[in-house]
Amino acid sequence: MVFPGVLKVGYPLLLGGAHGCVNRTLLIRPLRHRICGRMITVAALYHFTRLPDPDSLRPALAAVCKTQGVKGTLLLAEEGINGTIAGSRAGIDAVLAHIRALPGCANMEHKESLASEMPFNRMKVRLKREIVTMGQPNVDPTAGTGHYVDPENWNDLIAQPDVVVIDTRNDYEVAIGTFEGAIDPKTKSFREFPTWWEANKDRFHNKRVAMFCTGGIRCEKSTNYLLSQGVEDVFHLKGGILKYLENVPQENSTWQGDCFVFDGRVSVGHGLKEGPHQLCYACRRPIQPEDVKRPEYEAGVSCHQCINEYNEESRERFRERQKQIRLARQRGEPHIGDGC
């Protein structure tokens, strides 16, 4: 059975009552669609600039997104703007033009890719303390960052014997792909990075440090942080992994695996093609299609990575959420717990 607006291409559906009769083979994507038969443009963006009153910018920004049919998430803070949005070509252009008209945002850069379906269910414009949370009040990328390295020059840099390469992303992101030889700090969140660095910095004495992340934003803060700690030679991949995968041919690439992305595509590979991964909606970690056949997997309730992380009370809540998602789909309606 395929519900209105749903395609049989990738997201788990729980069938049955509150306790669930899990169908481990029927995988569907939430209520997403193409726009008039065309591919959907996905734009990832961030920009550090001082916004004294970010809350005052929310209504107009949300309004232009709604008018243009653009969906996704945009975060506003006094330090700038960050987010990923998706929509038609004209819609994305209109929203980007609005953002670049904001104070200090005229030079904002963004990265684009295409999605076969809308990767978001709704539009969120949120106010945050930080646009990427590091928890270091003295970190200020506008005051200085590491040396930018273009994707085309990245391989040569990280091949040098005096260069150490650090992946600044979270452990579940690193698990599905990273650069050959990169160090994984095994952090659960970016907030843990300064503690990890303090505990490991002696390992990198007299080394040049090259850092990378998904789109570049975490490296803006991490390289500024290392400079404040007295590290002299700090570099980071301009445009992040996404720009590398877009610009560097696979035959010349030192990237291994896929890159986790924070939208309904879950992962992308070389050429920014959509990857094979799905999302466990209990722990929000990526899983492979074959992982849904494992005994620990129950759609929206558990996977092999989180089976021991939640108690039965939590799993019952997850099952009830899946039930409500199923009922909403049958009505052809979106549900707040359904996808991104």
Q: What pairing do the DSSP bridges indicate for beta strands 267-268 and 259-260? A: antiparallel
Work out the mean pLDDT of the chain and round it to a whole number: 88
Please give the positions annotated as active site. Answer: 213
pTM of the model: 0.83
CA distance 327 to 334: 10
Please state, in angstroms and rounded to a whole number, the distance separating the CA atoms of residues 59 and 218.
27
3-state secondary structure of 255: strand
Length of the chain: 340
Listed residues 232, 259, 286: the one ending a domain? 259
Residue 3 in domain: no
DSSP secondary structure string, 30-92?
-S---BTTBPEEEEEEEEE---S-GGGGHHHHHHHHHHHT-EEEEEEETTEEEEEEEE-HHHH
User: Residue 181: is its pLDDT beyond 80?
Assistant: yes
Specify if 274 maps to a domain. no
**Residue 246 belongs to some domain of the structure:** yes
User: Of the candidates 226, 259, 292, which is a domain's last residue?
Assistant: 259
Q: CA 172, CA 214: separation in Å to the nearest integer?
A: 13
**Which of 103, 131, 159 represents a domain boundary (last residue)?**
131
Q: Are residues 114 and 148 in the same domain?
A: no
Are 116 and 150 contained in the same domain?
A: no
Same structural domain, 172 and 115:
no
- The helix (run of H) or strand (run of E) holding residue 254 is none
The better pLDDT of the pair 27, 64 is held by 64
Q: Residue 236 is part of which domain span?
A: 141-259
What are the φ and ψ backbone dihedral angles of 203, each rounded to 5 degrees? -65, -20
Residues 70 and 170 in one domain: no
Measure CA of the first residue to CA of the last residue in the chain; give whole Å: 23
- pLDDT, tens digit (0-9, with 9 covering 90-100), for 70-113: 999 999 999 999 999 999 999 999 999 999 999 999 999 999 99
Domain-embedded: residue 298 = no
Based on the structure, what is the number of domains in the chain? 2
What's residue 37's pLDDT? Answer: 58
pLDDT in tens, 182-229: 999 999 999 999 999 999 999 999 999 999 999 999 999 999 999 999
> Does residue 329 sit within a domain?
no
